[in-house]
């Protein structure tokens, strides 16, 4: 296994591309590894973070006519974007998705979806085999059981994938609070989606009387 370490291994917004897979009602109905409300919250936060940092985001569903449309909390973040609807369970076998990802020119592929053991694991392992640097956002994903989610994570780690949560990813994209370009946007996302962490951050700013700059410079 190639160990993932060093500064170059950290995720950068300018090198990242996000694929959100099958955040649909059918999958949510049998989500048992997480609180469904938490997964909707986390996947929405992930989408908002990607938009804030200018990370290209691909939305894809499977058989939406039967399985339902992607959560509106996600599609509302990208109101003008077409969702790629597939028949392939393995997203990475759908050439339309792969072509859009490749067209971004980005090398750090980030994936989240439902379910972890099926619609996340298959494209992650496939893309790793094609040479991509793949990160899975585990708390914006979920499985049909705790066991299936955790076994899928173990399987993907063994294949060489990197695991993160949405807030860890957003923090890695931000990297330095002196970078004020997206600090206010990230703080707003934290306020709405990071529960105690977001509110505590606002409290800290209040106590220190150091509001987040709205603009750089």
Give the active site residues: 119
Alpha-carbon separation of residue 110 from 11, 20, 25, 29, 132 (angstroms): 9, 8, 22, 24, 10
In the chain, what is the straight-line distance between the N-terminal and C-terminal CA atoms, in Å? 43
Q: Which residue has the tokens 């934290």?
A: 190
Beta bridge partners of 142: 114
Angstrom distance (rounded) from CA 17 to CA 183 = 20
Cα–Cα distance measured from residue 102 to residue 1, given in angstroms and rounded to the nearest whole number: 25
Spacing of C-alpha 198 from chain mean position: 18
């Amino acid at each position: 296994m190639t160990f993932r370490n060093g500064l170059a291994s950290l995720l950068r917004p300018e090198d990242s591309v996000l694929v959100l897979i099958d955040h649909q009602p059918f999958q949510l109905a049998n989500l048992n590894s997480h609180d469904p409300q938490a997964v909707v919250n986390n996947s929405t936060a992930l989408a908002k973070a990607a938009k804030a940092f200018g990370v290209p985001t691909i939305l894809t569903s499977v058989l939406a006519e039967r399985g339902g449309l992607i959560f509106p909390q996600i599609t509302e973040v990208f109101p003008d974007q077409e969702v790629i609807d597939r028949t392939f369970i393995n997203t990475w076998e759908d050439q339309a998705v792969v072509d859009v990802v490749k067209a971004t020119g980005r090398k750090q592929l980030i994936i989240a979806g439902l379910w972890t053991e099926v619609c996340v694991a298959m494209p992650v392992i496939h893309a790793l085999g094609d040479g991509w640097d793949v990160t899975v956002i585990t708390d914006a994903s979920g499985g049909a059981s705790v066991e299936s989610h955790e076994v899928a994570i173990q399987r993907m780690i063994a294949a060489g994938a990197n695991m993160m949560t949405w807030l860890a990813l957003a923090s890695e994209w931000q990297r330095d609070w002196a970078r004020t370009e997206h600090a206010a946007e990230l703080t707003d996302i934290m306020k709405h989606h990071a529960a105690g962490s977001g509110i505590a951050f606002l409290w800290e700013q209040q106590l220190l009387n150091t509001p987040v700059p709205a603009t750089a410079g």
